[in-house]
């Protein structure tokens, strides 16, 4: 009798574990589907980008791809740390929206009024411009918009990582 009771308890525990695993996998699948459907602000492969520019501390810096090598157009002879440039370009082309704020009438409340930063890039077929506003160090989010639109997008601050430096900081040591 004890042996049968023990077997029954073991079978019940196994059944409960299988049911929990089933529901856990269902929840995981839903999360994966939601992540796969993430809305993108920009979705351009970094390999497609041929030129880009950005503002930093009141200056605008222009870069262009020459074969497989990125060059700073202000001084094409600078030996740039290519991995840093490639990282910047990859961030620039792939930006996921965390939140959209529609029908904004005062862009300055998001740092997108006078004095906002501008990032631009070109592929073989298209050109893109992004206005970058305020960012929050705590939440690691920042505000961006496209020219002429009244929607402000909240995106990861990773977008601007690497763009807060002069070309001299991108030179190989």
pTM of the entire structure? 0.74
Cα distances (Å, whole numbers) of residue 152 to 63, 90, 105: 27, 22, 10
Per-residue pLDDT of the chain (173 residues; tens, 9 = 90+): 777 878 888 778 887 888 877 787 777 676 665 555 578 888 899 999 999 999 998 899 999 999 999 999 999 888 999 999 999 999 888 889 999 999 999 999 999 988 889 999 999 999 999 999 998 878 889 999 999 999 999 999 888 888 888 998 888 87
Helical H runs in 40-173? 82-93
Q: Which residues contact 25 (CB under 8 A, 6 or more apart)?
A: none
Q: Which two tokens stand for residue 156?
A: 């990861």
pLDDT value at residue 109:
93
Q: Are 126 and 113 in contact (CB under 8 A)?
A: no
Q: Which residues contact 51 (CB under 8 A, 6 or more apart)?
A: 62, 63, 64, 65, 121, 122
DSSP 117-154: EEEEEE-SS-EEEEEEEEEETTTTEEEEE-TT---EEE
Q: What are the domain boundaries of the chain?
A: 1-35, 40-170
Q: State the CB neighbour count (10 A cutoff) for residue 53.
A: 16
51-56: strand order across its sheet: 40-43, 94-101, 152-156, 141-145, 127-136, 117-122, 51-56, 59-66, 69-72
pLDDT value at residue 17:
80
pLDDT value at residue 16:
81
What are the pLDDT digits (tens) for 8-17?
A: 887 788 878 8
pLDDT value at residue 12:
80
Q: Are 85 and 70 in contact (CB under 8 A)?
A: yes
Query: Whole-angstrom Cα distance, residue 15 to residue 33?
Result: 27
* SS3 at position 76: coil
């Amino acid at each position: 009798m004890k042996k049968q009771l023990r077997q029954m308890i073991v079978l019940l525990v196994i059944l409960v574990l299988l049911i929990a695993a089933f529901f856990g996998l269902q929840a995981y699948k839903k999360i994966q589907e939601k992540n796969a459907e993430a809305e993108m602000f920009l979705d351009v492969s970094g390999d497609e980008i041929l030129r880009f520019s950005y503002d930093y501390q009141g200056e605008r810096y222009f870069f262009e791809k020459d074969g497989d090598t990125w060059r700073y157009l202000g001084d094409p002879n600078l030996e740039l740390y290519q991995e840093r440039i490639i990282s910047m370009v990859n961030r620039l082309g792939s930006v996921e929206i965390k939140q959209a704020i529609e029908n904004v009438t005062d862009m300055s409340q998001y740092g997108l009024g006078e004095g906002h930063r501008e990032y631009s890039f070109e592929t073989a077929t298209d050109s893109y411009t992004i206005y970058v506003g305020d960012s929050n160090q705590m939440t690691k989010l920042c505000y961006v918009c496209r020219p002429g639109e009244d929607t402000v997008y909240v995106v990861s601050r990773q977008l601007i990582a690497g763009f807060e430096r002069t070309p001299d900081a991108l030179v190989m040591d």
